Amino acid sequence: MMKLVRSLATAFVSLTIACGVHAQAKPQVVLLATGGTIAGAGATAANSATYQAAKVPVDKLIAGVPELAQVAQVRGEQVFQIASESFTNEHLLTLGKRVAALVKQPDVDGIVITHGTDTLEETAYFLNLTVHTDKPVVVVGSMRPSTALSADGVLNLLNAVTVAAARDSRAKGVLVVMNDEIHTGRDVSKSINIRTEAFKSPWGALGMVVEGKGYWFRAPAKRHTMNSEFDIEKISALPQVDIAYGYGNLNDIAYRAFAAKGAKALIHAGTGNGSVAAPVVPALRELRSQGVQIIRSARVVGGGFVLRNAEQPDDQYDWVVAHDLNPQKARILAMVALAHGADSKALQRMFLEY
């Protein structure tokens, strides 16, 4: 009888220890809050498009989704509390350096960044280029404030933590999770401003999150994170890069003004295949001779890319084409590349590789 009691006691202790180990083994995810609609509040539940962004602090975001505790051990940090259209280069650097520091910690398995949707794609791509880690880094936002009927932020946040906590999310670069879809931060862009399915990738999503599980269908093809030659820890400042928009009856005023104010590179958001209107070509050639990098992107939405030496003799003019990157993402890559000392030849290689 005593042997049986001892055996049962031993088994109970072992089970208790095993349960404790299992509980401790739950993934540890850090939630970095920066503001945006996901932290916004409207006057009434009917306000889904009219509201004040960046009002809810990170502790309330976490407390508002108790299901997070079933997925991971989540702790939060309030990095900023701003609407994302006010993100500056300094904000990018501060956030990037904090992410880079956290992913080095053994008690961090993944990072989730809550972010306003207006410039979410730019921040995601910046981190994708500059943070060296194979740990999941997931950027998430919402199109409706938490106070709205059918608010999307709660499920978006739960899905983001689910992806950040999963081992099969590793080594896929910085991800964006919105509307049940998993996108690469390199491709995804905000395509509409009032619907929950606002974020799309021209080459398709990487996967989906359905009822607490991620499903993957493809992987990023371009260089990122651990395979990147860029390093956030080596960037102390980002050079000025500006975007000038192409349209009918275009003139060179914006290009010259940006250069006069110190732009080191100009992204031409051209029509079609990054076309440059004839009256603007002389100004861009002149600015290039003065050391300003000229990068042809396209204002078109939904896919396609700018072909080198099509529309313009890029080799002759020493211009760069942005490949399939839209103007705002071309600006991010140009800043990072110039911060690492890239010339026009290196820039062109980088636009094809990243």
Annotated binding site for substrate: 84, 117-118
Q: Cα dist. 237→88, 97, 101, 311 in Å?
A: 11, 12, 18, 34
Cβ within 8 Å of residue 259, ≥6 positions away: 266, 287, 290, 292
Per-position DSSP letters for 48-96, written without gaps between them: SSS-BSS-S-HHHHHHT-TTHHHH-EEEEEEEEEE-GGG--HHHHHHHH
Catalytic status, residue 184: no
Catalytic residue among 37, 130, 133, 225: 37
Q: How many helices (H) and strands (E) does the chain have?
A: 11, 14
Catalytic status, residue 37: yes
Instruction: Find, among 143, 129, 141, 31, the residue nearest to 79 by Cα.
Output: 31
Cβ within 8 Å of residue 235, ≥6 positions away: 93, 96, 130, 336, 339, 340
Residue 171 in contact with residue 178, Cβ under 8 Å?
A: no
Catalytic residue among 10, 16, 114, 117: 117
E strands, the chain, are 28-35, 73-82, 110-114, 137-140, 174-178, 181-184, 189-190, 199-200, 207-210, 213-216, 241-245, 265-270, 293-298, 320-321
Annotated binding site: 84, 117-118
Active site members: 37, 117
